[in-house]
Every structure is written in C-alpha cells, then in structure tokens.
Amino acid sequence: MKRFIFLALVAALVMAACSAYAWAPKKNVTVIVAYKAGSGTDNTARVLSKFATDKIGKTLVIQNLEGGSGSIGWTALANARPDGHTIGFINLPTLCSNIVEGLGDYKVDDFVPICNHVNETSLVMVGKDSPFNSVEELVKFAKENPGKLKASTNGMKASNHIGAELFAKSAGFTYMAIPYGGTADQLLALRQGEVDFSVAKEADIAAMMSEVKILGVFAEKRMASFPDVPTLGELGLYNKWYGSARAIVAPKGTSPEAVKFYEEAFKAAMEDPEYIAAAEKAGVTTLFMNAEDTAKLINQQYQFCTDEVAKLWD
C-alpha cells in the first residue's frame, strides 16, 4: 500500500511537471543577436547560451544579423515564425530609440518578453592622464570654456551619445560630440587623448580599468563595484538610472507556454553557480527579471525615448 501511494505520488508529480512544462522545443533553437560576433551583446549571449543549453534540452544556435544599429536583426526577429524555435536578444534603450527614429520595420508590440538578462550602468569617464579628477572640475571647466571639451561617442544619437547629452544638459554646459561609430573606437580615442571625456557602460571598460578614471555613475545609489565614485544625482545632476539592458524576447504570436518554458529555463541557467562564476569573470552584470517585469522595463524605456531622448536633440 505504501508503495502504491508512493508510486501514485510520483505519477502525480510527473504529471504536474508535464503540465507545467507542456511545451518544449522539438528542434534546435535559433537565437538572433543583432550585433556582430565578438561584440558585447554577442559575448554575453554566448555565455548564457552555453549554460542554458542543458536546461532547454536543445542546442541554441546563435545567428548574428548585424547592421543598422541593431534594426536588421530585430526586423528579422519580429518577422520570424512564432513557433517557439526562434528567440533573440534585444538591447534597451536602443531597440526603443530605433523605433522612435523610424529605423527598422517593427514596433514594441512585435515582441513578447521572456526575461531580462543583463543590466549595465553608464559611467562618466576621462583618460588616466586627464587634468580632471572629479565631475565638479570637469563641469567647472566646461562652463568656463563653452563648447571646448570634446567627448567621443559610439555614434550619432547612439546610446553613449544619449548618456553624454543627459550629463551635459543636466549640468548646463555645451561640448562637442565626436561620433566614432562603435564603443571600441570611442574608448580608444579617449585613451589616445583625442577627446576629453566619454560616457560608456561598465562592461565596456572591463579590459582597460587602469587607463581611465571614472568620475561619476548614472545610478540612483552608489555602485558596489565603484563605492568611491559619486552618483550624478548626488552632485545635483541627472538623478535617474541610465544604462543599457539586454533582454530575451520572442516574436509576437509565440505561445504563452513556450514563453513560460524559456523564462524558467533561462532563470535556472542564470541561477546556475557555474554560470554565475563565468559571468562574473567575463564582467557580465546579470539581472534576471521575469516576463512581466521585463515588459514593464521595455515600456518604461520606450517612454524614456519618446519623452526625454527626443527632447535632447531639439
């Protein structure tokens, strides 16, 4: 009898498990990354994919569809067959600012959020030989010499240009933005001394910490990784979080069961101690958010792009 109860319990558990995971991929899963191989997004996507493969049970095949500031890959993702075998990584706020700028052929509603993966905070930085040692010194000089300071950006109206604009507008100075068409070149120019300051994200400078001075962070409270660096809000400047987030989404029409399946699988992967160790080593700042919170984040970022960012360029 005891045995029977035990078996019945097992059967019930198995059935419960089956109904919870009613959906599972039947073939390899295509993961669209809208940036080229070797880019920041690509690297973090590959780290996660490696650890998620076990949880998903099929191989995740990363497909790099770069170009058009992400819009080529995201157009492909939005138009992919929503059978649960194609998912992709999106970058915020770039996905939203592309929509506002009219790049690419998709809207926010064309994607179903699965979960958030990475959050990176933006930082204000100067080269290691710069005369400026604090945000105050930099702002003071900039105000006394309007338009004289030069900042490298990763492209016209790109994420780090938005960051530099938010900083300058809130501090009330004018500067010259020089677009370099990519974060690697943007930071090389800063290290060469071709420009005076830059705004970039924390993972971008992991390989060059000794060559830059970080003056301020775009966060609501000080960051654990830079406890001595003030937030811009503390100094009376831009007082909200700014940075980038990378989330995993599926094309509109993907079944809720499939979304649930991936949400759980990626959650498990991000909680895997081996993943945590690998991500830490690679400088990836993981932040899991469930589908619901990710949807909120995407909408909030879209709002940010239509309200605040659009005003920056007037």
- Let me know how long the chain is: 314
User: Is 60 or 259 the residue whose CB approaches other proteins more closely?
Assistant: 60
User: Is 280 or 292 the residue whose CB approaches other proteins more closely?
Assistant: 280
User: Is 194 or 220 the residue whose CB approaches other proteins more closely?
Assistant: 194
Q: Which residues contact 27 (CB under 8 A, 6 or more apart)?
A: 58, 85
Q: Is the peptide bond before 82 cis (omega within 30 degrees of 0)?
A: no
Give least dist CB 106 to other proteins, A.
11
Instruction: Give CA torsion, residues 299, 41, 175, 219, to 10 deg.
Output: 60
**Which of 289, 280, 252 has the alpha carbon at shortest distance from 109?**
252
User: Is 1 or 273 the residue whose CB approaches other proteins more closely?
Assistant: 273
Query: Which residues in this chain contact other proteins in the complex, by CB under 8 A?
Result: 36-39, 42-43, 46-47, 49-50, 62-69, 71-72, 75-76, 103-105, 150, 155-157, 176, 178-181, 184-185, 188-189, 191-192, 194-195, 206-208, 210, 278, 281-283
Give least dist CB 73 to other proteins, A.
9
User: Is 114 or 157 the residue whose CB approaches other proteins more closely?
Assistant: 157
Cβ(232)–Cβ(93) under 8 Å?
A: no
Give least dist CB 16 to other proteins, A.
33
- In single-letter form, the type of residue at position 196 comes to D
User: Is 219 or 265 the residue whose CB approaches other proteins more closely?
Assistant: 265
Give least dist CB 117 to other proteins, A.
15
Tell me the C-alpha distance between 144 and 136, whole Å: 12
Cβ(249)–Cβ(291) under 8 Å?
A: no
The three-class DSSP label of residue 305 is helix
**Which of 92, 167, 93 has the alpha carbon at shortest distance from 126?**
167
Give least dist CB 126 to other proteins, A.
16
Give least dist CB 167 to other proteins, A.
20
**Which of 314, 262, 256, 305 has the alpha carbon at shortest distance from 55?**
262
